[in-house]
């Protein structure tokens, strides 16, 4: 066993003989999560980190535990307390968010947004999404006339999702930039390791974004003519007392945040994968089927979200390993989507793959399965097609984007490109 080998020095024999998951250090996981998961997945269904968190590795187990009542979502109040989030808009958001609720509260909070984000309703937004992509590419092109190399993350991938969300709220385009800034200030609050050194920025982002959304909702409740089905549905839920105004705002803010870090990372990853592997760039612009296939495969191979976090309410036995009660459980969708029991040649980027599953784990599963899946896919497809159509000569200016992290939302640096 070498220092760079993904296997921990901890004795796996001792651990497995008592059903305790073997230990793997966070630093090994950070260094090369795919190698660690590949090594352990065939040996054990669960590994644990030094902090006791249990990582579930196999596709069938991840799927089963996403709907298993012995696991539950992380509680927003507890999460805020443990992470030292001060009382105020950020704490209110975490406590009231559908992402951190269960049962009736979760259903009530989710229902008014589901219809607006269903596949057919989202299809009607395609022109809005395309025009958002096109408007950002105008700026990329303008920048390309004065600079040799461009950071596609800051010019396109990052501003695109908040721009789409601000349009869904009917916000004027001159407000989109500030809106995007607040979104990315507050979004780290939903990361698995909430970075406490950024607390002031997160609180400021939460305060400003919440105030902005409150204003939008107030207009909708006052019956002002707005072109936003999302706001109208939330206003209707408040009018019939299904949601309090504060709850409605918290769900809208969660939605905006949930839509942003995830989709920006996915966009950067997929552009990087296509350009790095030299596949199909110039054909993507007029081939929606090809774009759909690239999006699906990029999301599987390098998902922007690596896991769904849960809490074990009781002991859970899985094929020779046991997750103790009261542990943080990380359902590793990153590992599951490269499980050879589910996918042939799982480490390869194959855009003509035929073994994608109907409900891909990249969007989670069960009651909390991503509500924005249809919109995310459309943004990724339209973004890719618009870039390919308008910038057919796009090339990587350096290495493919670096993707870091294995749990929660992953971090992506780049891609830097030439036009
Ligand atoms: C590629 C992009 C995206 C990925 C990979 C992704 C992934 C996920 C995953 C894995 C979950 C489940 C979390 C859990 O079970 O703990 C989730 C939930 C959620 N997502 Fe997404 N998401 C994406 C885009 C979006 C978009 C565009 C929106 C909004 C329009 C959105 C809004 C949400 C919300 C509100 C939840 C919480 C749902 C609930 O708790 O019921 N996501 N997402």
Q: Which two tokens stand for residue 320?
A: 């020779």
Average pLDDT over residues 368-392: 97
- Nearest Cα neighbor of 212 from 258, 165, 259 is 165
CATH of segment(s) 12-418:
1.10.630.10
Enumerate residues 6+ apart whose C-beta is below 8 A from 176.
159, 162, 163, 166, 167
How many angstroms is it from 157 CA to the middle of ligand 1?
17
CB of 327 sitting under 6 A from ligand 1: no
Phi, then psi, of 255 in degrees rounded to 5:
-60, -45
Contact 220, 234 (CB under 8 A): yes
CA-nearest residue, atom 20 of ligand 1? 370
Q: Where are the domains of the chain?
A: 12-418
How many angstroms is it from 376 CA to the middle of ligand 1?
9
Distance CA 234, CA 246 (A): 11
Distance CA 230, CA 122 (A): 11
* 23 DSSP 8-state letter: B
Report pLDDT digits (tens) over 273-303: 999 987 789 899 999 999 999 999 999 999 9
| Average pLDDT of the chain, as a whole number | 92
Contact 408, 307 (CB under 8 A): yes
Count of CB atoms situated within 10 Å of the CB of 244 = 12
pLDDT band at 355 (very low <50, low <70, confident <90, very high): very high
How many angstroms is it from 160 CA to the middle of ligand 1?
17
pLDDT at 301: 98
pLDDT band at 225 (very low <50, low <70, confident <90, very high): low
pLDDT at 194: 66
Distance CA 286, CA 237 (A): 40
Distance CA 144, CA 338 (A): 37
> CB burial class (10 A; 0-12, 13-18, 19+) of residue 69?
exposed
CB of 257 sitting under 6 A from ligand 1: no
Q: What one-character-per-residue DSSP string does 82-139 give?
A: HHTPPTTHHHHHHHH-GGG--HHHHHHHHHHHHTTTSHHHHHTTHHHHHHHHHHHHHH
Which of 95, 256, 258 for mutating ligand 1's site (highest number of atoms within 8 Å of CB)? 258
Higher pLDDT, 198 or 114: 114
Distance CA 413, CA 153 (A): 8
Decide the pairing of beta strands 321-323 and 316-318. Answer: antiparallel
What share of the chain in percent tops pLDDT 90? 82
How many angstroms is it from 260 CA to the middle of ligand 1?
10
- Nearest Cα neighbor of 136 from 112, 166, 106, 92 is 166
Report pLDDT digits (tens) over 296-312: 999 999 999 999 999 99
Report pLDDT digits (tens) over 62-91: 999 999 999 999 889 988 888 889 999 999
Cα 170-172-175 angle, rounded to 5 deg:
120
Decide the pairing of beta strands 308-312 and 150-151. Answer: unpaired
**Separation of CA 134 from chain center:** 23
CB of 310 sitting under 6 A from ligand 1: no
Which ligand 1 atom minimizes the distance to the CA of 366?
15
pLDDT at 280: 84
Total length of the chain: 419
pLDDT band at 15 (very low <50, low <70, confident <90, very high): very low
Question: Could you give the 3-state DSSP secondary structure of residue 34?
Answer: helix
pLDDT at 11: 39
């Amino acid at each position: 066993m070498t220092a760079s080998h993904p296997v921990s020095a901890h004795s796996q024999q001792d651990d497995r003989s008592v059903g305790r998951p073997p230990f793997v250090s966070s630093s090994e996981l950070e260094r090369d999560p795919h190698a660690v998961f590949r090594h352990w997945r065939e040996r054990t269904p669960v590994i644990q980190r030094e902090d006791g968190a249990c990582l579930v590795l196999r596709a069938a187990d991840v799927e089963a535990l996403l709907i298993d009542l012995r696991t539950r979502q992380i509680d927003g109040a507890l999460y805020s307390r443990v992470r030292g989030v001060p009382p105020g808009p950020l704490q209110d958001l975490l406590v009231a968010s559908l992402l951190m609720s269960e049962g009736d509260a979760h259903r009530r909070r989710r229902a008014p947004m589901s219809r607006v984000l269903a596949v057919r309703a989202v299809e009607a937004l395609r022109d809005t999404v395309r025009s958002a992509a096109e408007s950002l590419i105008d700026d990329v092109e303008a920048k390309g006339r004065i600079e040799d190399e461009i950071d596609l993350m800051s010019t396109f991938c990052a501003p695109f999702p908040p721009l789409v969300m601000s349009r869904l709220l009917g916000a004027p385009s001159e407000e989109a930039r500030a809106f995007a800034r607040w979104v990315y200030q507050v979004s780290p609050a939903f990361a698995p390791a909430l970075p406490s050194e950024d607390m002031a920025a997160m609180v400021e982002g939460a305060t400003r974004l919440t105030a902005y959304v409150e204003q939008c909702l107030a207009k909708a409740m006052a019956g002002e003519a707005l072109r936003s089905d999302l706001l109208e549905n939330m206003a209707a839920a408040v009018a019939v007392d299904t949601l309090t105004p504060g709850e409605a705002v918290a769900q809208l803010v969660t939605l905006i945040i949930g839509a942003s870090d995830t989709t920006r990372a996915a966009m950067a990853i997929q552009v990087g994968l296509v350009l790095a592997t030299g596949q199909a760039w110039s054909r993507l612009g007029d081939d929606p089927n090809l774009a759909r296939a690239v999006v699906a495969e990029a999301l599987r191979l390098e998902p922007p979200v690596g896991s769904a976090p849960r809490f074990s309410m009781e002991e859970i036995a899985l094929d020779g390993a046991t997750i103790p009660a009261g542990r943080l459980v990380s359902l590793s969708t990153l590992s599951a989507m490269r499980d050879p029991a589910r996918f042939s040649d799982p480490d390869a980027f194959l855009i003509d793959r035929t073994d994608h599953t109907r409900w891909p784990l990249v969007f989670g599963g069960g009651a909390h399965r991503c509500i924005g899946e249809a919109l995310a896919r459309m943004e990724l497809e339209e973004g890719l097609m618009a870039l390919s159509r308008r910038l057919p000569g796009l090339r990587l200016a350096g290495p493919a984007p670096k993707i870091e992290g294995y749990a929660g939302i992953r971090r992506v640096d780049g891609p830097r490109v030439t036009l």
